Chains A and B, each alone.
Chain A
Amino acid sequence: MSQPETISVVLRVNGFDYPVAIEQGRNLLGVIRTEIGLTGTKEGCDDCECGACMVLLDGQPVNSCSFLAVQAQGRAITTVEGLMPADEMHPLQRNILEEGGVQCGFCTPGMLISASALLSRNPAPTDEDVRIGLSGNLCRCTGYTKIVAAVQRTAAEHRG
C-alpha cells in the first residue's frame, strides 16, 4: 500500500513553529492533538456543534474540527495551553475554578477560548453578551451559570 500523500507545512501554535507533514484533508484539531501533542483542545462532536475543539486563529475563535490544518499555515494559532505562559493561570482559568464553573471539564478549554475572545473584543459585556458569546460551547454539567459568573468576574477584575 502506498503512503498517503502529504504536504509539508509549518504551523505556529502558541508562538512556536511546528513543521508537520500532513494529508491535505486533515483537520486542525487532529494535527494539534496528534502531531503537535497538545491535548488540551478536545474533540467533542467533530461536527461544529459543541465547541470543545475551539482554538484562536489570529485571535478569533474557530472550531478546529472543521478547519483544514493546511489552511492554518501562516496564522497565529492559540490553544488553551497558550492562553498564558507556562505554569501560570489565566485569570479566566483561575476564576472558572474558583466559581465552580468546571465539573467534568471537557467543555472547559473551549469555554476559555470563547471567553477570552469575547473579552478581548468586549471588555465590559452584559450577561446576555456573555451568554451569546458562549452559545457555541455546549456544557452538560454546569448549567452555565457559574461559567458566566467566572467570565463576568474576570471582566470586572480587569476593569479594576
Chain B
Amino acid sequence: MSFFIAHTVHDALTALSDGARPVAGGSDLVVGARHGKAPLPPHLVAIDRIAELREVHHTDSGVIIGALVTHHDIEMHALLTTSYAGLADGSALVGSPSTRNVGTLGGNVMNASPAMDTGSPLLVLGAEVELQSLRGTRRLGIAELWTGPGRTCAEPDELCVAVHLPAPAPNSNSAYLRLEYRRAMEIAVVGAAAAVTLAADGSISAVRVALTAVAPTIIEVVGLVGGTVADVAAAAAAAASEQATPISDQRASDRYRRHTVGVMAGRAVQAAARRAGGEMIPVPLNRAVGIGAAS
C-alpha cells in the first residue's frame, strides 16, 4: 500500500510506471470502490496538485485543456462557454456544484462512461487526447480512446495530460442537450451533441452529431449532410434514433431511449445552428431551453 502526492507530471509518470493508479477528485474511484465495482487500488498517486495540468491554453490552432481542469472551470471559462459551448453545456450539467468542483475533464474522459456529459460534445468538436508516459507522448482521436463502457485503450502507465480541441471554423458552434428527469443531480438518460457550420445563406454546410448513453461508448451519427437547419435537424433526429443501440434499464426502456435520443439530436442541431448564427444561448443549454421546464 502506498500513497504519493505528485507535484509534477514527471513525478506522476514515475509513480504510474511503478504500478500506481492516479486519483484526481476521487469521485469515480472512491464511490466505485465502495460499491464493489473495483477495489481501491493499493498504490495511489494523487495528481490533483500538478499545477501545469490545471490550465487552459488558447493557441492559434485551438485550445488545450489540461486534464485537471474541472467542470466548474469549464462552465465559467469565457472562451469555452462561447466558442466551445457544447462542451460547456455538458460540464455545467455534471452532478452538482460540488461534483463539478472536484470532477475533472481528464477524469471524465478516462472513466469512459457512455453516459458522460462531456463525451458527445468532445467527439463532435474533434477532440484529441494527449497521453503521456515515461515512454513518450501520443495523441489520439477521442473516439479511438474509448473501447467500451469504462474501458480505454490507454496503457496503465499512461496519464491523460490534456484534451486538444481544434479552432472552430468561422460561423460554427456546438450544443449539447440531455434528457433529464430532474434539473440537477442527474445522469443523462440520453444526450446528444451537435457541431455545425453555417453557409452564407444560413443553411448548414457541415454537421457532426454524437450520442450519449445509447451504446457501449459515445457514438457519432454517420451519414449526415448539409442542408437547411430544419432538414438537417430532422435528418439528425431520424438517424440518431436509427443508429442508437440502447439498453433497457431502470432509467428508461430501449424504445424510449431510441425515440428521445432523436429528439435530443434534432434539438441540439437547432441550438448549435442558432449559436453558429451569432445568437447567445447561455450555458447549459438544458436550462436555457428547458426540457419541459419554464423558459
Contacts and interface: CB of A to CB of B under 8 A. Distances in A.
B139 to A, nearest CB: 29
B49 to A, nearest CB: 8
A31 interface: no
Nearest to A71: B46
Given A5-B1, A135-B97, A25 B27 contact: no
A133 B183 CA distance: 12
A76 B130 CA distance: 32
B23 interface: yes
Interface in A62-82: 62-63, 66-68, 70-71, 73-74
Interface string B257-292: 000000000000000000000000000000100000
Interface stretch (A44-52, A101-109, A145-153): A44-52
A71 B23 contact: yes
B95 A48 contact: yes
Interface string B21-39: 0010111001101110000
A51 B98 contact: yes
A25 B33 contact: yes
A137 B96 CA distance: 8
Contacts of B5: 71, 73-74
A135 B185 contact: yes
Nearest to B102: A62
Contacts, number: 80
A135 B1 CA distance: 37
Contacts of A136: 95-99, 184-185
Interface string A15-47: 000000000110100000000000000000011
Contact of B97 (A5, A24, A46, A114): A114
A159 B131 CA distance: 47
Contact of A71 (B31, B48, B99, B287): B48
Nearest to B32: A66
Contacts of B44: 24, 68
A25 to B, nearest CB: 5
A61 B98 contact: yes
Given A7-B3, A24-B44, A135-B183, A67 B96 contact: no
A74 B25 CA distance: 15
Contacts of B31: 47-48, 66
B98 A114 contact: yes
Contacts of A24: 1-3, 40, 42, 44
A27 B97 contact: no
Best-surrounded residue of A68, A70, A117 (most CB of chain B within 10 A): A68
B83 interface: no
B111 interface: no
Given A48-B95, A61-B97, A27 B102 contact: no
A60 B102 CA distance: 9
Nearest to A121: B76
Contacts of B95: 48, 136
Interface in B48-95: 48, 95
Most interface-central of A74, A114, A135 (chain B CB within 10 A): A135
25 contacts: A46-B34, A47-B31, A47-B34, A48-B27, A48-B95, A51-B96, A51-B98, A60-B98, A61-B98, A61-B101, A62-B98, A66-B30, A67-B25, A67-B30, A68-B23, A68-B46, A71-B5, A71-B26, A74-B5, A114-B97, A132-B97, A132-B184, A135-B96, A136-B95, A136-B99
Given A68-B23, A114-B98, 8 more contacts: A47-B35, A48-B27, A61-B98, A62-B102, A66-B27, A68-B30, A135-B96, A135-B183
9 nearest A-B residue pairs (beta carbon)? A136-B96, A135-B184, A61-B98, A66-B30, A25-B40, A60-B101, A70-B3, A71-B46, A66-B31
